Amino acid sequence: MNKIVIKLGTSTLTQGTKQLSRRYMLEIARQITHLLEQGKQVVLVTSGAVAAGREMLGHPTVERYLPSKQMFASVGQGRLMQIWAELFSLFSIQVGQLLLTRGDFSNRQRYLNIRDTLHCLMQHGVLPIINENDTVATKDSRVGDNDNLAALVSNLIAADRLILLTDQKGLYTSDPRQDSKAELIPVVKHIDSSIFALAGGASAALGLGTGGMYTKVQAAQLASQSGTSTTIASSSCPNVLIEIAAEKPLGTLFLAETTTRESRKRWLLSEKHQGAIQIDSGAEHQLRHGGASLLAVGIKKTMQSFERGALVQLVSLSGQPIAVGVTNYGNQEIQRLIGSHSRHIEDILGYSYGQEIIHRDNMTRIKFNEDL
């Protein structure tokens, strides 16, 4: 379990009060620091901006409509990040903020930019802290809740585990607040309508659920299909993050139904490619036998117009399809880089998205139907 995405909801951060619990947030910071010191890569998805805004404005009575929520988020987001930054600074941990909407995940170029930023932050020991950008998100652009946002982030970085903390110990056979005989379900192998029914009753099973356990199961399903296992556990459990990272049986574990490699491979092979790149014999040999990334020096020409983040086909000098992959550069950029050494990319373009035109992790062979 090397890459972990942790999501904290408002009820967890406030611990049932009307304001953020600095004491609880400090405890979370301590546990995350412990994971980082173990060499884990951690991304924190946090709610709480609206709660922080309400707190700062003295909990005013306002109409319950979107601009009011956006006002609170605008006031509170900076304060929320300030608190996190101050708490993590006690452990000498730097933090970086990302505010995202659904549009950032549906636009391929923005998707890649977010992924690259997250990887760069983690590589330099900076803790990424993510929240939905409530101040500008509209109904069409909102993810809808930070549970699903965390699942999208898990998919983006190919996380090993998604941890969703809540006020319940996990998923039960029935509502434990109403049924004293309700039992905790330790492991879920497959999420279907019966699991959604347990998460929110009949209305949730019909797709009418709007929050709580339903959205957590929804997030677990999304993560599972992307190759990430999910744990839903109680925020009140001592050392909950440390225990889960140590594979202790806490809460409900939703097993991944595929691997991240299989998930990515299926997507690469099923999607329609948007262009093609012809490579020389040396690059072909490396791709077939060495499992290397595609570098500019091995490219002969590009075919069709495509943007950064496009799915393209790699073909040999004879025109035989060899692989498909997601390109880090657009068609026009690649044409300027053809035959160049990777160290000259920034000199030629004035910027760089990395040394690889297509990284091996984002490439799949066509002939043998397997990852490079």
Residue 369 pLDDT: 40
Of 208, 232, 263, which residue sits at a domain end? 263
Q: What are phi and psi of 132, to 5 degrees?
A: -70, 140
Place of tokens 């991240």: 260
Q: Which two tokens stand for residue 67?
A: 């601009």
How wide is the angle at C-alpha 5 spanned by C-alphas 185 and 50, nearest 5°?
95
Asked whether the beta carbons of 307 and 261 are under 8 A apart, the reply is no
**Domain around 290:** 271-365
Same-domain pairing of 108 and 187: yes
Asked whether the beta carbons of 329 and 309 are under 8 A apart, the reply is no
Same-domain pairing of 234 and 120: yes
Residue 138 pLDDT: 52
Same-domain pairing of 192 and 318: no
Residue 360 carries which side chain, given as an amino acid letter? R
Confidence of residue 289 (pLDDT cuts 50, 70, 90): confident
**Rounded distance between C-alpha atoms, residue 358 and residue 362, angstroms:** 7
Same-domain pairing of 64 and 134: yes
**Rounded distance between C-alpha atoms, residue 362 and residue 112, angstroms:** 11
Residue 132 pLDDT: 86
Residue 144 pLDDT: 57
Average pLDDT score over residue span 110-129: 93
Average pLDDT score over residue span 107-134: 90
Burial class (CB in 10 A: 0-12, 13-18, 19+), 110: middle
Place of tokens 């109680």: 234
Does 370 reside within a domain? no
Segment 254-287, tens digit of pLDDT: 999 887 777 777 667 767 888 999 999 999 999 8
Residue 111 pLDDT: 85
Q: How many domains does the chain have?
A: 2
Same-domain pairing of 249 and 290: no
Residue 270 pLDDT: 62
> Highest-confidence range of 86-90, 264-268, 357-361, by mean pLDDT?
86-90
Residue 59 pLDDT: 87
DSSP string, 312-338: EEEE-TT--EEEEEE-SS-HHHHHHHT
Of 230 and 175, more confident: 230
Q: Which two tokens stand for residue 284?
A: 């072909």
Same-domain pairing of 190 and 323: no
Among 24, 17, 4, 18, CA closest to 234: 24
Q: Which two tokens stand for residue 49?
A: 């901006």
Residue 134 pLDDT: 67
**Rounded distance between C-alpha atoms, residue 134 and residue 211, angstroms:** 16
Confidence of residue 366 (pLDDT cuts 50, 70, 90): confident
- Does the CA dihedral 317-321-322-328 come out positive or negative? positive
Asked whether the beta carbons of 238 and 212 are under 8 A apart, the reply is no
Of 36 and 258, more confident: 36
* Residue numbering of the annotated binding site for ATP: 7, 166-167, 210-216
Residue 68 pLDDT: 83
Using DSSP, state whether 7 is helix, strand or coil: strand
Average pLDDT score over residue span 239-246: 96
Above pLDDT 90, what percent of the chain?
59
Segment 93-118, tens digit of pLDDT: 999 999 998 778 877 788 888 999 99
Average pLDDT score over residue span 284-291: 84
Above pLDDT 70, what percent of the chain?
91
Does 257 reside within a domain? yes
Same-domain pairing of 43 and 179: yes
Q: Say which CATH number the domain at 194 has.
A: 3.40.1160.10
Asked whether the beta carbons of 153 and 43 are under 8 A apart, the reply is yes
Same-domain pairing of 171 and 293: no
DSSP 226: T
* Residue numbering of the annotated binding site: 7, 47, 134, 146, 166-167, 210-216
Same-domain pairing of 346 and 259: no
Confidence of residue 141 (pLDDT cuts 50, 70, 90): very low
Using DSSP, state whether 109 is helix, strand or coil: helix
**Rounded distance between C-alpha atoms, residue 232 and residue 6, angstroms:** 10
Of 214, 232, 263, which residue sits at a domain end? 263
Asked whether the beta carbons of 270 and 201 are under 8 A apart, the reply is no
**Rounded distance between C-alpha atoms, residue 181 and residue 185, angstroms:** 13
Of 263, 291, 315, which residue sits at a domain end? 263
**Rounded distance between C-alpha atoms, residue 274 and residue 107, angstroms:** 15
Residue 164 pLDDT: 96
* Residue numbering of the annotated binding site for substrate: 47, 134, 146
Average pLDDT score over residue span 121-148: 77
- Give 95's contacts (C-beta < 8 A, 6+ positions apart): 81, 84, 85, 88, 126, 127, 128, 129
Residue 367 pLDDT: 56
CA 138, distance to chain mean position in Å, is 21
Same-domain pairing of 187 and 159: yes
pLDDT-wise least confident of 39-53, 155-169, 171-185? 171-185
Q: Is the pLDDT of residue 222 over 50?
A: yes
Residue 264 pLDDT: 73
Place of tokens 């620091």: 33
Whole-number average pLDDT of the chain: 87
Q: Which two tokens stand for residue 240?
A: 């909950």
Does 372 reside within a domain? no
Confidence of residue 209 (pLDDT cuts 50, 70, 90): very low
- For residue 106, the number of C-alpha atoms closer than 13 Å in the C-beta half-sphere is 7
Same-domain pairing of 192 and 322: no
Residue 139 pLDDT: 52
Segment 46-85, tens digit of pLDDT: 999 989 999 999 988 887 777 888 888 899 999 999 999 9
Region for 247 from its dihedrals, namely left if φ exceeds 0, alpha if ψ lies in -120 to 50, beta otherwise: left
Same-domain pairing of 229 and 281: no
Q: Say which CATH number the domain at 338 has.
A: 2.30.130.10
- Does the CA dihedral 273-275-278-279 come out positive or negative? negative
